[in-house]
Amino acid sequence: MIYTDEERLAELLRALPPAPTGWVRAAQELPRVRRELDGIVERAEADAHFRAELLADLERALAAAGVEPRRPIVEELRRRLED
C-alpha cells in the first residue's frame, strides 16, 4: 500500500484514539480480579454466613477485596454464587 497522501495518513492516525485509561486498566486487571473472585467464591462455599452477607451487598464485598465493582464483575460474581 502506498501512503503518498499525508492527509490519509493523518486520518488513519486519528482513527484509533486511546481508549479511556480506566477501561484499559480494568481490562488489564482481569487476571488479578479472577483470582480475587475465586477466593471470594471459595470462602462463600465454605461459609454460609459469609455467603449470605456477600449476596446482600456484592459491591461492598468486591470493594473490600480491592476489586473495583464494575458491572460485569458484579454480575459474574452473582452468577458464580448462584450456580
Partner 1 sequence: MHPLTDAQLVAACREGREEAWNELVERFSRYVYAITQAFRLAPPDADDVFQDVFTRVYERLDTLRSDDALRPWLAQLTRNLCLDRIRRDGREEPTEDLDPGTIDDAVDKLDEAFAVREALGGLSPDCAEILDRFFTRDESYRTIGESLELPSGTIASRISRCLARLRDALEGRIPAPAPSGERVTR
The answer to whether residues 33 and 75 touch, using CB atoms and an 8 Å cutoff, is no
Residues numbered 22 to 41 that lie near partner 1 (CB under 8 A) are: 23-24, 26-28, 30-32, 34
**Least distance between partner 1 and beta carbon 19 (Å):** 4
Q: Please, what is the minimum distance in Å from the beta carbon of residue 16 to partner 1?
A: 4
79 binds partner 1 (CB under 8 A): no
Q: What are phi and psi of 24, to 5 degrees?
A: -65, -45
Kindly state whether residue 60 participates in binding partner 1, applying the rule CB under 8 A: no
- The yes or no reply on residue 72 touching partner 1 (CB under 8 A) is yes
Distance between CA atoms of residues 31 and 54, nearest Å: 21
- What distances in angstroms separate CA 51 from CA 2, 19, 42, 48, 74, one per listed residue? 61, 36, 10, 5, 14
Provide the binding-site residues for partner 1, judged by CB under 8 A: 1-4, 6, 9-10, 12-20, 23-24, 26-28, 30-32, 34, 70-72, 76
